[in-house]
A and B are shown apart, each in its own frame.
Chain A
Amino acid sequence: MKKNNQEQQSTARIFISNLLHNPSAIIGLTIIAIMILSAIFATQIAGVSPDYIDPVNGRQGPGWHHLMGTDQLGRDMFSRILSGGRQSIYIGVIASFLANFIGTILGSTAGYLGGKIDAVVMRLSELVMTFPQLILVLIFVSLLGQGINNVIIVFALTGWMTTFRLVRGEFFSLREEAFVEADRSFGFSKPRIIFRHILPNTLSPIVVAFTINIAIFIIAEAGLSFLGLGVPVTTPTWGNLLTAAQNPVVVNEYWWLWVFPALSIATFVLGVNFVGDGLRDVLDPRHKSLIAKNKWKKMLIGSLGRSK
């Protein structure tokens, strides 16, 4: 057991150092870090509260005093965007965590047990996956109502499928491995085998899925709030700052009201994707090189002639 911990520690260190050397991850992490920090210290950075109303200076374009302009009530857009980031990122992260949680539990159970349970859950996931995401989200919103927490729950309920499939896939391949047989012969209970033995080996796709889902949910929140059906406008999120863009006049005349929120979302999402790519490279270097190596290997072996 002690040895295990030691090994795990050095693996963790190796992993972190690898990650920090991966160009994709570096770019992504920088972007995300900057944005998260500025979201947390929004008011300090912007110098003015996002709720400070100043109608006199309303509807001004970007300038020295207001880096990103003001809205119709004279509120500083820069400040609003920074604090909007707080909510959006919060929603994205928590929802992703929840969705991953659900997906992992379902995936590991279905993947390990197989049979009818697996068939049923698979069918369910297929069905849910094929529903256009927004429609599904809307249906749930109509049942549960709006608000940050409800939005998070809805996203988790509609977004667990990718993680589920990934984990299930891994479990299918892993459960045939020798160490599982050994565990079974030791008489370990099923939950113990599933969660303490097999699951740790499936961490890499889960982590990657986690990052990707953050991006997906932030965009989903944007769409939902843009329609006015997500987080109520009282709490600014990147998404509901975009509601302003429902008005064509705004779209055309007061472009700063929506372009900056949109850009923020796009940047953050890109950053998350970079991190995800980097993670994928590092966590499963066998994944990327395995795929590449397998490709070359196949070509090479194919050229050299098959071995028996």
Chain B
Amino acid sequence: MTQSTAKDLILDLKNVNVKFKVEDDTLHILRDVSFSLPRGSFLCVVGESGCGKSVTAQAIVQLLPDNGEISSGEIHFSQNGQVVELNKLEKFGKQMRDIRGGKIGMIFQDTLSSLNPAHKVGRQVAESLLQHLPISKAEARTQVIELFRKLGIPDPERRYEAYPHEFSGGMRQRVMIAIATVCEPDLVIADEPTTALDVTIQAQIMTLLKELQKSAGKSFILITHNMALVSEVADHVAVMYLGRVVEYGTVDQVLRDPRHPYTKALMASVPTLDADKDIELQTVDGQTPSPAEVTIGCEFVGRCPYAIDVCKDRTIEMTQVNPGHDVRCIRLDSNGKLPVLTGGAKDE
């Protein structure tokens, strides 16, 4: 289990399991996911496509698709000094909806499909404002225009009346950020907000996000598979593989001293820390198995150079290697380090 220092946590996930029903199968997408987010810090959730990072984000705000459900676990959210168990709230009930947009803001990846093509952009941002605050339409409009200006959208009055397809990708993402932040939520979750953007725009948006977070002291979760971004903005990092958190710690700990074989491989496959390409695990053999295939044992067993038979047989727990640094691997010795490999051969 994640052992965090007794800090003020805004979000705490404990053993969250999410299952999806596809045709006649049930896919176990999230397996015992646990991590916590100290208030005011920036957490990056990283992993390959399909590891469940987006599902985690959706599960937090209960926006899983119809065939998905949180089968077990707890999601604690700290709101106004009180802790609410998010997964216990009614999905479309008033409490949950007050939190959505009001206390937790979401930024999605595909901006073109995530915005209603038939509504003007300004209206879509104002919608969030009007939902949570008792202000007039005119007042909302003013605030949104001001927010557009702050976010760097030029000619905000005119842009308020524009449609989503009239914007470039980077501008649209700013609109999404506006939607997510207009009510000044305590927590913002961004699901790969820059993956579809050009490199230069990526940098702009990330700077913007980091500034927003720092200046307002808000908590932030960034979901990404771009390690370069992580090194620039994160305070904490959670590494996920096939629905499980395999390593968690501060950015220094995870990036400079990775302990889990998967994290090590991830770091090793980054050519330089300034890499602006998406990461393909070229140095690791094999492919990510489908969530339907793996049940017992470590999910990484098929591709792990350190794997031994035992790894397949039992559920692996998280162990603490340093304060605040947890790793899920049984191959770690008493110092929390992996054994030395001899020419890549597996041990007996």
List the interface of chain A (C-beta within 8 A of B): 289, 292-293, 296-297, 299-300, 302-308
Contacts and interface: CB of A to CB of B under 8 A. Distances in A.
B191 A305 contact: yes
A100 to B, nearest CB: 32
Nearest to B66: A299
B23 A305 contact: no
B278 interface: yes
A300 B278 contact: no
Given A299-B65, A300-B22, A305 B278 contact: no
A307 B65 contact: no
B110 interface: yes
Given A296-B67, A299-B65, A305 B20 contact: no
Contact of B29 (A289, A296, A304, A308): A304
Nearest to A289: B23
A221 B281 CA distance: 64
A300 B20 contact: yes
A306 B223 CA distance: 12
B192 A305 contact: yes
A305 B54 contact: yes
Given A296-B67, A299-B65, A299-B67, A304 B22 contact: no
B101 interface: no
B49 A307 contact: yes
Contact of B23 (A296, A299, A304, A308): A296
Nearest to B63: A303
Contacts, number: 56
B68 A306 contact: no
Contacts of B192: 305-306
A299 B66 CA distance: 9
Contact of A304 (B54, B66, B196): B54
Given A296-B22, A308-B278, A303 B68 contact: yes
A292 B49 CA distance: 22
A300 to B, nearest CB: 6
B67 A304 contact: no
B53 interface: yes
16 contacts: A292-B23, A299-B67, A302-B65, A303-B20, A303-B55, A303-B65, A304-B54, A304-B55, A305-B49, A305-B50, A305-B53, A305-B109, A305-B191, A305-B192, A306-B49, A308-B278
Contacts of B54: 302-305
B60 to A, nearest CB: 12
Nearest to A300: B20
Given A293-B22, A300-B20, A303-B65, A308 B55 contact: no
B23 A303 contact: no
Question: Chain A binding site: helix, strand, loop or mixed by DSSP?
Answer: helix
Contacts of B278: 308
Given A296-B22, A296-B67, A304 B195 contact: no
Most buried by B among A292, A300, A304: A304
B286 to A, nearest CB: 17
For the complex of A and B, 5 pairs with smallest distance between CB atoms: A307-B49, A305-B54, A299-B65, A296-B22, A303-B55
Interface in B49-63: 49-55, 58
B81 to A, nearest CB: 32
A304 B22 CA distance: 14
A304 B64 contact: no
B109 A306 contact: yes
A302 B49 CA distance: 11
A307 B50 contact: yes
Nearest to B108: A302
Contacts of B20: 296, 300, 303
Contacts of A297: 22
Contacts of B196: 306
A305 B22 contact: no
Interface string B27-62: 101000000000000000000011111110010000
Nearest to B109: A306
B195 A308 contact: yes
Contacts of A307: 49-50
A300 B64 CA distance: 9
A292 B68 CA distance: 15
Most buried by B among A297, A299, A300: A300
Contacts of B55: 303-304
A303 B50 contact: no
B49 A308 contact: yes
A292 B25 CA distance: 13
B156 to A, nearest CB: 30
Contacts of B225: 305
A302 B64 CA distance: 10
A308 B192 CA distance: 12
A303 B56 CA distance: 9
A78 B27 CA distance: 56
Interface in B272-320: 278
A289 B51 CA distance: 24
A297 B21 CA distance: 11
B67 A306 contact: no
Contacts of A308: 49, 195, 278
B143 to A, nearest CB: 30
Most buried by A among B29, B65, B223: B65
B65 A304 contact: no
A305 B223 CA distance: 9
